[in-house]
Amino acid sequence: MGNWLVAEPIGSGGWATVYAGRPAAEGEGPAARDEVALKVMPTAGLAPRQAARVAEAARREVELGRGAAHPRLVRLIDSFVLTSPGHPALDGAIVLVMERARCTLRDLIGAGLAEAEGGRLIAGICEGLAHLHAAGWVHADLKPENVLIGQDGAVRLSDFGLATELTGTHGYAPPMGTLDYLPPERWKGPLGELGVEVRPSADIWALGIVIHEVFASGAPPFTGATPMARGAAVQEYAQGRAPLRMDQSVPEFWRALAADCLAPTHADRAAHTAESLRGRIAAHEARELAPALRTVRRGRRARSVLLAATVCGAVAAATWTYAGRDGGPGRGDGSAGSPVRIRVFNAERGCQDRADRDPQCSLGLAIDPLRPYTAENVVPTRVWHGDLLDADCEVPRGRAIIDEEDLESTRWFRVRLPGGPARQAWLPAVRTKDRPVLPRCAHPAS
């Protein structure tokens, strides 16, 4: 295609298929061998109005890529119209040549992210959005699939086919977009001759959804079995008939940030610009880093004390012992006797009848029931509604957990994971309907 050799397909969407590619001509230096992404947007066989939409989407991507270039936006290298009379399906296709990414944010969410890494990526998204908005554009289709991770590990916003240029405070776009990331006003917004109104606050709403997904292993804050059902949940919340419920695994700072992004009206979200959110993240990172810097300045002795405390803390978290049913000592070999099988329960009704083990319906198991139930305190192994787990002891007064139906419990069950990367984990009692009689687990620090 043009000056590029086409390799394997990378992915496809409604308008385009993306292929890996490389320069056809041999050059000098590593840049000449770098792979690129070839986004092919066919127009053959489309109705005139459909072909016009494809051409307009391509025009937006080219205009934004060449006029608003930034390190946090995917780099546009070339664009051309393919002439291929021998292949009618491809003749007239529009081809965009872009830098090739390592993966998408969706790929990383599925694998699990530590809080620090998730925060770094969200800060990169804010940086890209801040540049877009300052340049007079709204992305209008922000989601993890459109956040690329470059070969250098940095964020690159991509897929600007629905990007909308602002004329004053808002712009107009076709009534399109990914339903799970549309703000409340888009569900009932009027459709005029120019399309629907789009403001930067629409990107801020989508950012709030993305923040929640990053720290909740892909789970959305608004639940339902279908995008339309989740959209109905958004409307219930926006009209004040339902509270904003977030997964307990979302850390406190990011929970507050996501809640501001998910303010129910445009006016409420307008104060939370991408630039201001980026500043809040930077201030949070500085606060988190300050204690470590102070510790380093105290010298070798302070570092030795910190190391000893860290090792002791790790040993304490890993060496739970057990008390018998009468409160006496249990066996010291890490076993509490015969396990009892319990069934996992997910209060989200849309997840109870699913058998596809969708990541959005998965539940996390804790490493330590006394620590906050955050991303750092969750084992890699996930469970789903109906899974059977072997439980061998319980902690009656652990960290309080509230489920989606506002049921609260401090009771935790230790479960065994024979097939997972962690041999044991902790299931909060709100995640099962079973109430087994188990011996009490005794923590060395208690």
Per-residue DSSP letters for 259-319?
HHHT-SSHHHHTTS-HHHHHHHHHHHHHHHHHHHHHHHHT-HHHHHHHHHHHHHHHHHHH-
Mean pLDDT for the chain?
Answer: 81
> Tens of pLDDT along 154-171?
999 998 888 888 887 778
Class assignment of domain 103-282?
mainly alpha
Using the structure block, give the residue that is written with the tokens 């709030």. 208
Residue 353: pLDDT over 70 = yes
Angle between helical axes of 274-297 and 252-261 (0-180°, round to 10): 170
CATH number for the segment(s) 4-99 = 3.30.200.20
- Band (pLDDT 50/70/90 cuts) for residue 233 is very high
Q: What is the pTM of this model?
A: 0.63
Distance CA 292, CA 436 (A): 43
Q: What are phi and psi of 196, to 5 degrees?
A: -105, 150
Q: Looking at residue 296, what is its pLDDT?
A: 46
Which residues of the chain does CATH 1.10.510.10 include?
Answer: 103-282
Residue 192: pLDDT over 70 = no
> Tens of pLDDT along 50-96?
888 888 888 888 888 877 788 999 999 888 998 888 888 888 888 99
pLDDT > 90 in the chain, percent: 39
Residue 309: pLDDT over 50 = no
Q: Tell how strand 378-383 and strand 441-442 pair up.
A: unpaired
CA angle 408, 410, 414 (to 5 degrees): 125
Is residue 164 within 8 Å of residue 172, measured between CB atoms? yes
- Interval 412-435 mean pLDDT: 84
Which residues of the chain does CATH 3.30.200.20 include?
Answer: 4-99
